[in-house]
Amino acid sequence: MKVHLFDMQQKQLGLVELPKQFSEEIRFDLVQRAIMSLWNNKRQPYGSYVDAGDRHSVKISKQRHDFKGCYGFGISRVPRKILSRNGIRFNWVAAQAPGTVGGRRAHPPKATKNWEEKLNKKERRKAIRSAMAAVMQKELVAGRGHHIPTAYPFIIETPFESLSKTKEVVAVLHKLGFEEELSRTEQRSVRAGKGKRRGRKYKTKKGILLVVSGDCKLQQSAKNIPGVDVVAVNTINAELLAPGFMMGRITLFTQAAIERVQKEQLFM
């Protein structure tokens, strides 16, 4: 597959043959498995306090003629704590057992549970290749809700990675035809529910993914543009290329990134 190579003034510099990684069959099931594996591996363990609901003095005898026994009083054999007593007559209340007030939970979440989900190396790489192929399909990208330029898909020259100011990056993206897409991702909404109180009040939309060859100035200059992500080509994953299991995120590769994919045979 050949795509156009543009400079930062939207001038066409020629055609570039994409590596064979972009010719992979589009597999929605593999991409979904790869993303679920990423989510599960990032999941933070959680659990209740190990002694929660289990800190009562509730010893009660189960023998028939023992002191502090439960036989002959018409009561069930659940653990009880003594509130007061008169001789061998006790005023007690059930506690600690899962069915009692203030008792422990029967099966609480445990912090020792392992949420990791392993994925075969070949399967993960195939999922990334499939997601890379999807971002070059104009119909899939448009169907995801992105406002794409007329000439999409295309790549941009390597000097784009050296831009050190945010306004310069925005100006180049406007010239390339991403003005409507940037306007779309600037809109944000207030999250419904308790998440507003937990440091994630606003919901933002996913926009352009800029894929560069490695560490560069663009990673800093473009990180504050709403909806725009910048990532080195050797660190991309299925979640970045297909957020929310929806394949076909609008993506702009630099020429150096494409050359590195070809030279190092990434994800093969």
Task: Give φ, ψ of 2 to 5 degrees.
Answer: -110, 140
pLDDT at 222 over 90: yes
Nearest to 244 by CA among 42, 24, 31, 40: 31
At residue 38, the pLDDT reads 96
Q: What is the DSSP letter of 267?
A: T
The sign of the dihedral angle between the CA atoms of 246, 251, 257, 258 is positive
Report, as an integer, the average pLDDT of 32-55.
93
Report, as an integer, the average pLDDT of 140-164.
95
pLDDT at 62 over 90: no
C-alpha distance from residue 61 to each of 54, 68, 69, 81, 246 (Å): 18, 6, 5, 12, 61
At residue 240, the pLDDT reads 97
Residue 67: how many CA atoms within 13 Å on its side-chain side?
A: 5
* CB distance 233 to 257 below 8 Å: yes
C-alpha distance from residue 65 to each of 59, 62, 73, 77, 225 (Å): 16, 9, 12, 14, 77
Q: What's the CATH fold of domain 2-43+116-188+203-264?
A: Ribosomal Protein L4; Chain: A; (3.40.1370)
Q: Which of 28-37, 53-62, 215-224 is least confident?
A: 53-62
- Residue 105: pLDDT band with limits 50, 70, 90: very high
Taking the C-alpha atoms of residue 204 and residue 190, their distance in angstroms, rounded to an integer, is 9
Q: For residue 248, give every residue at least 6 positions away whose Cβ sits within 8 Å of its Cβ, in sequence order, or none.
A: 134, 135, 137, 140, 141, 143, 144, 146, 242
- Residue 66: pLDDT band with limits 50, 70, 90: confident
> What is the residue extent of each domain of the chain?
2-43+116-188+203-264, 46-114
Report, as an integer, the average pLDDT of 69-93.
86
pLDDT at 229 over 90: yes
| Cis preceding-peptide flag for 19 (omega within 30 of 0) | no
- Residue 168: pLDDT band with limits 50, 70, 90: very high
At residue 72, the pLDDT reads 80
